[in-house]
């Protein structure tokens, strides 16, 4: 399987080069960077610290569909539309990791899914996707008056909050409880306020240093509390999951899939 990358020089792009280099079934064949990037024509091995590579970085506007079976996109929302339209035009399956998409951009995902197979997941780690199953199980077993809070921590450079994964955890729990996260989600608290409403799902965000990604779902009742926590210690876990998703999606029918589909986990 020949893979093309959007955002090759990003933090995720660099570990994707490493994950593809480690994969026996996937080969990196196109590595794109911004049209004004200083990395144009540079060897991808320099980005990932892997010697012996021959591929060089291409400006994204010069990306050729030849010899690419699947694209992987971990960039920023500002460039998402260009990337997905390129995939639709050239009928290329795509794995999308970019988070912080607007509602209009999420609608574009569904439009794209009518033409190409795509995987979109807020988190490509196997552990986090297992966590989505576990929080649903916890929500269905606990009393309806349990307080639910989602706490997430990421590195200082992260540009969206709460994280896409925290929102996915909140949506999994809300869906299990028959609630709508846009009604019951509480994203900030400050100053004097009434006692907590048990129907709320609260979010707290921490940003600092080089934290790769930590998520806790806290279920607190009177007398006990349950915490389900996932901690990523390396971005390689997301990159390995994305390469696994690329292998899975390459021959699928057009549609929108996620990591639960890729891993075959129960919903």
Binding positions for ligand NAD, rule: CB under 6 A: 7, 9-13, 33-34, 60, 74-76, 78-79, 97-100, 121-124, 238
* Nearer Cβ to ligand NAD (6/219): 6
98 among the known binding-site residues?
Answer: yes
Instruction: Indicate the DSSP class of residue 10.
Output: S
Strands 213-221 and 224-232: antiparallel
CB-CB contact of 236 with 106 (8 Å): no
Q: How far is the CB of 25 from ligand NAD (least distance, A)?
A: 20
121 among the known binding-site residues?
Answer: yes
Q: How far is the CB of 34 from ligand NAD (least distance, A)?
A: 4
Q: How far is CA 217 from CA 92, 144, 188, 209, 214, in A?
A: 36, 15, 16, 22, 10
165 among the known binding-site residues?
Answer: yes
Q: How far is the CB of 196 from ligand NAD (least distance, A)?
A: 29
In the chain, the N- to C-terminal Cα span, in Å, equals 29
141 among the known binding-site residues?
Answer: no
CB count in 10 Å sphere of residue 64: 11
3-state secondary structure of 256: strand
* Nearer Cβ to ligand NAD (78/106): 78
**81, containing H or E segment:** helix 77-89
Distance (Å, whole) CA 163 – CA 104: 18
Q: How far is the CB of 218 from ligand NAD (least distance, A)?
A: 22
* Nearer Cβ to ligand NAD (196/231): 231
* Nearer Cβ to ligand NAD (201/232): 232
| Active site (catalytic) residues | 154, 158
**Binding-site residue ranges for (S)-2,3,4,5-tetrahydrodipicolinate:** 155, 164-165
């Amino acid at each position: 399987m020949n893979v093309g990358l959007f955002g090759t020089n990003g933090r995720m792009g660099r570990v994707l080069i490493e994950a593809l280099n480690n994969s026996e079934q996937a080969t990196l064949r196109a590595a794109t960077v911004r049209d004004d990037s200083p990395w144009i024509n540079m060897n991808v091995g320099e980005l990932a610290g892997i010697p012996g590579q021959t591929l060089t970085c291409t400006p994204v506007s010069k990306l050729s569909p030849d010899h690419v079976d699947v694209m992987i996109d971990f960039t920023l929302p500002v460039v998402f539309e260009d990337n997905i339209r390129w995939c639709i035009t050239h009928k290329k399956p795509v794995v999308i990791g970019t988070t912080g998409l607007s509602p209009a951009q999420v609608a574009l995902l569904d439009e794209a899914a009518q033409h190409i197979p795509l995987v979109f997941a807020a988190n490509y780690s196997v552990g986090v996707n297992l966590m989505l199953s576990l929080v649903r199980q916890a929500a269905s077993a606990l009393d309806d008056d349990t307080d639910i809070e989602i706490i997430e921590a990421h590195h200082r450079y992260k540009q969206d909050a709460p994280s896409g994964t925290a929102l996915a955890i909140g949506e999994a729990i809300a869906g299990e409880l028959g609630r709508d996260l846009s009604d019951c989600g509480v994203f900030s608290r400050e100053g004097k306020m009434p006692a907590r409403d048990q129907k709320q799902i609260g979010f707290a965000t921490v940003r600092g240093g080089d934290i790769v990604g930590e998520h806790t779902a806290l279920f607190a009742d009177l007398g006990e509390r349950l915490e389900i926590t996932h901690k990523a210690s390396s971005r390689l876990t997301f990159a390995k999951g994305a390469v696994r998703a690329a292998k899975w999606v390459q021959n699928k029918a057009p549609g929108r899939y996620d990591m639960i589909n890729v891993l075959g986990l129960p919903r």
